């Protein structure tokens, strides 16, 4: 049985967990993914340790240790690029440009290449070279001080990077669709800030629509418009119960 991305060749040079996970999603749907790493980074991993995050982010991938600085290594990389459909990177843009791993350098070898780049805060602006740290991106959106109970410390969910992973894969798929129609390659970018903004979008949109004191700040879990939908109640045995009953007129009598 064939899969959706059979025959697609993806070169993955990512180092961040979330970006690597986004490429793994392409492999899940049948793309052939080659993970290209510097030999030094391969040697740093203890072969006797289960690297569970690395396994999650690099499933369905072939592995290639390649030093692209020497002429032989660069030639090998360029040979792969000429055959590839997608190239994914998450390094700082000035560093990628210096190493000739930026879009302009690689598109000269393969004009219809899809080039995907992941960053902390996007490819432009004063923070484009800031570290790609999910906690910083989550804090920037303002969602961390909203999730907890009033008077409690801010909450970091780690979910923003997972949104960013899916956004990276979705962007590549959209670019591939565009290429199939036009023959054009292009750059796809996403960031941890974008993923975290997506995760916070319900609260942000509600605030923009209605404002007031209820949104973008902690709200007591019992302070709900409908106490029978989505509210957590603690039972006498210490466990928690939630009810999802938007149509209370219909279901409350039976309960």
Q: Are residues 33 and 111 in the same domain?
A: yes
Cα four-point dihedral sign 93, 99, 105, 107: negative
135 or 149, which is more confident = 135
Q: Are residues 156 and 97 in the same domain?
A: yes
Q: Are residues 180 and 245 in the same domain?
A: no
Domain for residue 189, yes or no?
yes
Q: Are residues 138 and 250 in the same domain?
A: no
The radius of gyration computed from the CA coordinates of the chain, to the nearest angstrom, equals 23
Is residue 31 a contact partner of residue 9, using CB atoms and an 8 Å limit?
yes
Q: Are residues 130 and 239 in the same domain?
A: no
Q: What is the pLDDT of residue 44?
A: 63
149 or 24, which is more confident = 24
Domain for residue 213, yes or no?
no
Q: Rounded to an integer, what distance in angstroms lies between the CA atom of residue 255 and that of residue 249?
A: 11
Q: Are residues 15 and 141 in the same domain?
A: yes
Is residue 168 a contact partner of residue 22, using CB atoms and an 8 Å limit?
yes
The total number of structural domains that make up the chain: 2
pTM exceeds 0.85 for this model: yes
222 or 185, which is more confident = 185
Q: Are residues 69 and 193 in the same domain?
A: yes
Which CATH number is 23's domain given?
3.40.50.10540
pLDDT of 182 higher than 90: yes
Q: Are residues 132 and 225 in the same domain?
A: no
Q: Are residues 22 and 50 in the same domain?
A: yes
Domain for residue 237, yes or no?
yes
Domain for residue 113, yes or no?
yes
Domain for residue 215, yes or no?
no
Q: What is the pLDDT of residue 219?
A: 74
Q: What is the pLDDT of residue 215?
A: 64
Q: What is the pLDDT of residue 212?
A: 65
Q: Which domain holds residue 248?
A: 221-255
222 or 139, which is more confident = 139
Q: Are residues 71 and 193 in the same domain?
A: yes
State the residue for tokens 């007031």: 212
Domain for residue 254, yes or no?
yes
């Amino acid at each position: 049985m064939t899969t959706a991305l059979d025959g697609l060749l993806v070169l993955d040079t990512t180092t961040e967990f979330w970006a690597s996970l986004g490429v793994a999603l392409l492999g899940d749907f049948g793309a052939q993914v080659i993970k290209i790493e510097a030999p030094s980074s391969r040697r740093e991993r203890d072969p006797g340790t289960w690297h569970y995050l690395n396994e999650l982010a690099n499933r369905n991938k072939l592995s290639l240790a390649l030093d692209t600085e020497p002429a032989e290594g660069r030639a090998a990389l360029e040979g792969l690029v000429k055959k590839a459909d997608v190239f994914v990177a998450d390094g700082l843009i000035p560093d990628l440009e210096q190493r000739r791993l930026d879009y302009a350098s690689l598109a000269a070898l393969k004009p219809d290449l899809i080039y995907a780049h992941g960053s902390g805060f996007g490819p432009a602006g004063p923070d484009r070279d800031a570290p790609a740290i999910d906690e910083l991106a989550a804090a920037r959106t303002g969602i961390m001080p909203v999730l907890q109970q009033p008077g409690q410390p801010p909450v970091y969910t780690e979910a923003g990077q997972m949104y960013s992973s899916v956004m990276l894969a979705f962007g590549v798929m959209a670019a591939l669709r565009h290429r199939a129609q036009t023959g054009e390659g292009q750059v796809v970018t996403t960031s941890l800030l974008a993923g975290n903004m997506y995760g916070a979008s319900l609260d942000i949109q509600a605030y923009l629509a209605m404002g007031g004191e209820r949104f973008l700040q902690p709200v007591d879990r019992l302070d709900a418009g409908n106490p029978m939908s989505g509210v957590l109640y603690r039972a006498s045995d210490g466990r928690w119960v939630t009810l999802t009953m938007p149509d209370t007129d219909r279901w409350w009598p039976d309960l």
